[in-house]
Homo-oligomer: A and B are copies of this chain.
């Protein structure tokens, strides 16, 4: 159970990507913090539950996105492509889409966005390195590249227009860690909620970046510079270690997916 007290703080939160894996998880959880949660996706969102509004929209459709942000207090932006894919869908949803979102926020007077970035922004660091929040981006594919773009875009909208953003470089958020890599990158859904809620409710965030990871024993990332956000993970991948290490044969250490933090992303890609 997340540590943040649930208060109805917001009138309306927009949750994009609400039909995706994390979106479905947050859909129910965010309701505790607002009167209405507006849900958007291009996939089927099912029936609206009490306190929900369904607003399907394509992120590359500027007008639709501007409408989406109307009368919204804040946004949790999970929408867009979240895996390595060819350039065109990434361009549309993650680059043009991110631009549309921030332009809409500017026009609609939205003052804070929680932006789902990704650990793949820094996926070309090695697994024997610990990356800090000011280290240069080393994206491991077009997806990571589009998230680096989103981070820089949101930095600009803060410097220029005062719109605050917390960029969450989410690791791997699943019910439990599924492989050796996730021993480092896993974040439980409860921790995901803690992280999103802290990002929404911290009084001042300016433009902040934070890795979305659990209280894992093995980790590649150093969140020291983001402690002002007030996120402290409660769940660890450690209890799953035995099972994972038993199931997962000894990794091939000449495989780039083993050497680099991005894992399989560093060798997949739309081009190969």
Contact = CB atoms under 8 A, between A and B. Distances in A.
Interface residues of A, number: 77
B134 A136 contact: yes
B232 A227 contact: no
Contacts of A141: 156, 160
Nearest to A217: B232
Contacts of A45: none
Residue in A96, A136, A220, A250 with the greatest tally of chain B CB atoms within 10 Å? A136
Interface string A173-215: 0000000100110000000000000100111111110000000
A1 B269 CA distance: 43
Given A103-B271, A246-B7, A204 B137 contact: no
Interface in A140-196: 140-142, 144-145, 148-149, 152-153, 155-156, 159-160, 180, 183-184
Contact of A238 (B3, B96, B153, B224): B3
B130 A160 contact: no
Contact of A159 (B124, B205, B232): B124
Given A7-B246, A152-B145, A224-B224, A204 B136 contact: no
A34 interface: no
Contact of A271 (B106, B111, B142): B106
Nearest to A4: B241
Contacts of A271: 103, 106
Contacts of A198: 218
B184 A159 contact: no
